[in-house]
Amino acid sequence: MNAIDDVIGAWEQVGWVAALREEVNGSSPNPTRVDLVRRKQRLALLVYAWKVTGEGKGRTGTNYRIQTTRSHDSDLLTEPKRLTIGFGIDAERGVLAVFDGWTKRATGRSSSVHIERGTLEAAQRDGYAEAGYPWDSRAATRIAQPDNLLPWISNQYETRTAAVHPVEHSIDHDAATIVADLWNAPTASWLRPGDRLVMADTAGESLLDTALWAVESVNVTIVNPGERYPRRRATFVCRRTGRVRNNAADLLRGLSGRRPRS
């Protein structure tokens, strides 16, 4: 059995039926289209799944990682009307961990998604645990209780709003093109077409303008091709959808990957 089998099997044990199971690439189960159905509930997923392993060479500590090796050369795939979720199987603890595949889509063919030991142990002890900012969250549950993940999965469908620090931007009336470095603006990886953003300064302490922008499209490009550690930038094409009327500091405290200084 592979990790995809383990994931589907966990859901089937609690009454879900895999109405669709279709490998996208015949050479590997990663990813697999999976439709899970139980009575009136349906989950349309694009599933990647791997074993949870130690942090690996060059890292200290006792935390863990999900090594996102796959058969295709491109970033993690996404499909319309299907949620991309990465699963990690921690067989030692009997725990199933998840992360948002969209957020981690542009990190390279064999990158790692890191997960803290404490998160895995809390899931083993309490049945469920979450960790991380909303724009880079992990959730974990006992393998025997995958239904605990349903609220987290449901949250991934909600409209996302984040503060982004742009490296450049241009505004033409109610349209804007906003470019963000994914290393320096971690919230940018999280945003999809249909989500919303505000532009913040480098420190995440004040707004660059008071517009609330709706993302119409997003394109990720590598700005230093051929180098060992590629840097990626996301270009957002946006339209103005509103104006920020909240206190900027209070708003940014919840929307930015950088906490304002006290």
Which among 230, 215, 116 has a CA at the least distance from the CA of 183?
230
Residue 94 banded pLDDT, cuts 50, 70, 90: very high
pLDDT in tens, 200-225: 988 777 899 999 999 999 999 988 87
Which whole number is the average pLDDT over 229-233? Answer: 85
Mark which of 131, 156, 181 sits at the end of a domain: 156
* Per-residue confidence (pLDDT) for residue 261, from 0 to 100: 40
pLDDT band of 20, cuts 50, 70, 90: very high
117 and 245: one domain? no
pLDDT digits (tens, 9 = 90+) for 127-141: 999 999 889 999 999
Say whether both 225 and 150 belong to one domain.
no
Do 148 and 119 reside in the same domain of the chain?
yes
Shared domain check, 114 and 7: yes
| 260 inside domain | no
In a domain, 223, yes or no: yes
Structural domain ending residue among the three candidates 103, 129, 156: 156
pLDDT of 15 higher than 90: yes
Q: Which domain holds residue 214?
A: 161-255
Count of domains observed in the chain: 2
* Residue 169 resides in a domain: yes
Last residue of a domain, which of 139, 156, 173? 156
pLDDT band at 184 (very low <50, low <70, confident <90, very high): confident
Q: Average pLDDT over the chain, rounded to whole?
A: 89
Whether 212 and 166 map to the same domain: the answer is: yes
pTM of the entire structure?
0.89
Residues 165 and 66 in one domain: no
**Whether residues 21 and 92 fall in one domain:** yes
Per residue, what are the HEC states of the chain? CCHHHHHHHHHHCCCCEEEEEEEEECCEEEEEEEEEEECCEEEEEEEEEEEEEECCCCCCCCCEEEECCCCCCCCCCCECCEEEEEEEEECCCCEEEEEECCCCCCCCCCCEEEECHHHHHHHHHHCEEEECCHHHCEEEEECCCHHHHHHHHHHHCCCCEEEECCCEEEEECCEEEEEEECCCCHHHHHCCCCCEEEEECCCCCCECCCEEEEEEEEEEEECCCCCCCCCEEEEEEEEEEEECCCCHHHHHHHHCCCCCCC
**pLDDT tens digits for range 27-74:** 788 999 999 999 999 999 999 999 999 876 555 567 888 887 776 767
